[in-house]
Amino acid sequence: MRAETGSNSWSSRPFPSPRRPALRVVGVMLGLLGLASCAAPPPTDPDALAEYKEANDRYEKLNRKAFGITMWANKYTLRPVAKAYIWAVPRPLRNAFGGLYQTMNEPVVFFNDVGAGRPRRAGDAFVRWCINMTVGIGGLIDVANYAGYKHHDNDAGLTLATWGVPSGPYLFLPVLGPSSFRDGIGYGIDVGLSPWNYVPRGYGLLTFNWAYNIMGTINGMATNVDALDQVMKDSLDPYATIRSAYQQQRKAMAEAIKNDHRATVPDWYHTK
Amino acid sequence: MQRFIPRRHALALLAALATMPVASAWAVDAGAQARSFVTMFGSKLVGVVNSDISLEKKKQDILPLLEQYVDVDAIGRYCLGRYWRTATPDQQARYIKLFHQVLVNAITDKIGDYRGVTFVVGTSAPSGDDTAVSTVINRPGQPGADTQWIISTASGSPKVVDVVGEGASLRLTQRQDYGSFIARNGGNVDALLRALDKQIANHH
């Protein structure tokens, strides 16, 4: 499960969605399998071929359809709601809700940090979870940040990337947004890693889960709505712009995790 | 006795070794130069953005800074990608003129979003022929944005040729936007020029 993190990156999904794990994961997996049969042939001109490889978008025709439908739906559903939310809720409160959502996702970040073999990051995520769930009132106040444990993103798509799994072709998943074969599979893994999906569901929890997901979705869209509006306005081909930005950012995020060789002991331990 | 290294290779190796300290000294120098350039340019930008003057005046004051310290022509050529070679000189000239306006609009549109900005210059590292300087841009109440500035001295003096925000290069993203648009319009550069014209006309 990915959380909206407040950073304006495409990896923090512009199209967050409520958690209904099993069905969606099956949907994503079936979609991935079904795609294999509808790839367009690569161009023959060398320059065009280089561009085709750079875009890494074998299923462009289908992806563009998914993009069109998603943007259309977004324009009439989530976007107006997010705009109203921004109008009604002041920024500090929105940040607090974002923190709540982010903290609930911290276990997923932790498991992925462990999976990527990055103990310092895992430790940071663990401490963030402990501090923010208690002193931070479930994440409403990001106390951990003030204590020097800054938030970082991680998800199973990135963990697979650090293991050397190639991204595979680019995908635009309806409603979920930009992805790839690897990140789509990673998404399914993340849903499995989120402890919230294993909590027995009484009526109270069910209500909480819905409220939490709807709040997270709207808050996430509110964080990204301006960036998304700008891309739609300034780009001649918004689809290609989002594809490019998403793939570059995912690559940079995976690189950042790979190159994070910080020690697990605090800095003062080394300096006498 | 058989030589381990043929003389030819030994000489080449020696030459390479001899230039190594010079090369690394140059790299250090280029890095320091790029960092001080970003510090200077950044302070000037932030000075205008954070000042109390009207938004219109800010936009006017930013223009000379962009012309002086950003290599807009080089960015424009990069963004047209493979179509730069196939474009006629007339198309190239029209494109560069339009691109200047588009870039200036894109930057000045953002000024209003930034108030009380501070920035911290971090490390520098070689990036191809250019130098990448890392900065963190802080806005009140928002998480700091990791931004890299790619500085090139190809024009004779240090100039910005790219900005990388959260891992995405602005010029590469723009190139893929333009490239895809042109490809979907039958490889016709004029289609791009018309679209840019329209974009500028609709800008307010």
Our CA-based measurement puts residue B87 at a distance from the nearest CA of chain A, in whole angstroms, of 14
Q: Count how many pairs of residues, chain A against chain B, have C-beta atoms within 8 Å.
A: 71
Query: Which uninterrupted H or E stretch holds B107?
Result: helix B89-111
Q: A266: which 2 tokens?
A: 């605090």
Q: Which of A95, A235, A249 sits opposite B168 (nearest CB)?
A: A249
* Chain B positions in Cβ-Cβ contact with residue A243 (cut-off 8 Å): 176
Our CA-based measurement puts residue A105 at a distance from the nearest CA of chain B, in whole angstroms, of 18
pLDDT tens by residue, chain A, 272 residues: 344 444 444 444 444 444 455 556 666 666 665 665 567 778 888 888 888 888 999 999 999 999 999 999 999 999 999 999 999 999 899 999 999 989 999 999 999 999 999 999 999 999 999 999 999 999 999 999 999 898 999 999 999 999 999 999 999 999 889 999 999 999 999 989 988 778 776 767 777 778 888 888 899 899 889 889 989 988 999 999 999 999 999 999 999 999 998 877 766 776 65
Residue whose entry in the numeric block shows the structure tokens 């605090």: A266
Rounded distance, CA A127 to CA A141, Å? 14
- What's the start-to-end Cα distance of chain B, in Å? 80
Rounded distance, CA B48 to CA B110, Å? 13
Mutation pick from B80, B176, B190, B193 vs chain A, by most beta carbons of A within 10 Å, is B176
Subunit contact A249:B176, Cβ cutoff 8 A: no
Strand ranges for chain B from DSSP E: 118-127, 130-138, 145-152, 159-165, 168-169
Angle at B133 between CA B130 and CA B138, to 5 degrees: 150
Our CA-based measurement puts residue A192 at a distance from the nearest CA of chain B, in whole angstroms, of 28
Q: From the CB of residue A185, how many other CB atoms can be counted at a distance below 10 Å?
A: 20
Does the pTM exceed 0.95? no
Q: A190: which 2 tokens?
A: 């993340």
Cβ contacts of A224 within 8 Å, gap of 6 or more: A4, A8, A12, A13, A14
Angle at A109 between CA B137 and CA A260, to 5 degrees: 60
ipTM greater than 0.85? no
SS3 B135: strand
* Chain B positions in Cβ-Cβ contact with residue A61 (cut-off 8 Å): none
Subunit contact A51:B192, Cβ cutoff 8 A: no
Subunit contact B173:A244, Cβ cutoff 8 A: yes
Our CA-based measurement puts residue B150 at a distance from the nearest CA of chain A, in whole angstroms, of 16
